[in-house]
Amino acid sequence: MRRLVAYGALTVALTACGSPQPTADQVMAPSSETETASTTTAGTAPPASEQPVPPTQATTAAGSTRCTAAVLAGSVQTTDAGAGNRYGKLVVTNNGSAPCTLNGYSGLQLLDAAGNPVPTNLQRKPDPGPSPVTVAPGTAAAANLHWTVVPTGDEPVEGPCQPEATSAAAIPPDETQPVSLAWNLGPVCGGGKIEISAFYAG
């Protein structure tokens, strides 16, 4: 699985006013794909009148409204723990007045009490993989999370293995603005590695 990738267009608004922003290469870009690939095929492009019109940034290909940070509230909930492993869910609730759609993976960046980025190595898992999820007003969608609290490599065995996060910025699929949420689950060992699934109906 790939590590954090550059996402030049991303601007992360932190929870504390005036706090520094994480740089673009510190947040994994949200996406509806498990892996990114590009292919080039030679051929003649159809006339402009025959070319399909791509969806706008605010809508999905089917024309339904994408879920944006403006209508979502987020939280992280623990679901299980054992043998140094931690399992949880990233839960987002639609606080808007109309249904919206999530399709794919969230971006995620842990932040410390000052709003500075904490090491976060987000890795996508296809369990479940991307599938459109319609979130009605007042309902939620979730993504599974897994991380370890066991120090690895040169991480200290006494004290925190990594700087401790107090909040996080979660970016919905195909969006650039984050949902701010609290993180009170302690440090994430293994260099901040967090495995995440695609969103599913929560």
Summarised one tens digit per residue, pLDDT across range 18-74 is: 334 443 334 555 666 544 333 333 333 344 434 443 333 344 445 569 999 999 999
Q: What share of residues in the chain are helix, strand, coil (percent, to 5)? A: 5, 35, 60
Residue 9 DSSP SS3: coil
Bond preceding residue 128 cis, omega within 30 of 0 = yes
pLDDT at position 143 is 99
Domain limits of the chain?
A: 60-201
What's the pLDDT at 202? 82
Tens digit of each residue's pLDDT (9 = 90 or more) over 91-143: 999 999 999 999 999 999 999 999 999 999 999 999 999 999 999 999 999 99
Q: What is the mean pLDDT of residues 165-194?
A: 98
For 87, residues 6+ apart whose C-beta sits below 8 A from its C-beta are 78, 79, 80, 81, 144, 145, 146
Overall pTM > 0.85: no
Q: What is the pLDDT of residue 62?
A: 52
CATH match of 60-201 with 2.60.40? yes
Sign of CA dihedral 112, 118, 121, 122: positive
Q: Above 90 in pLDDT, residue 3?
A: no
| Predicted pLDDT of residue 57 | 39
Residues 143 and 106: beta-carbon distance below 8 Å: yes
Does residue 32 or residue 164 have the better pLDDT? 164
pLDDT at 168: 98
CA nearest neighbour of 178 among 29, 59, 60, 55: 29
* Tokens encoding 52: 């399909």
Better-predicted residue by pLDDT, 61 or 173: 173
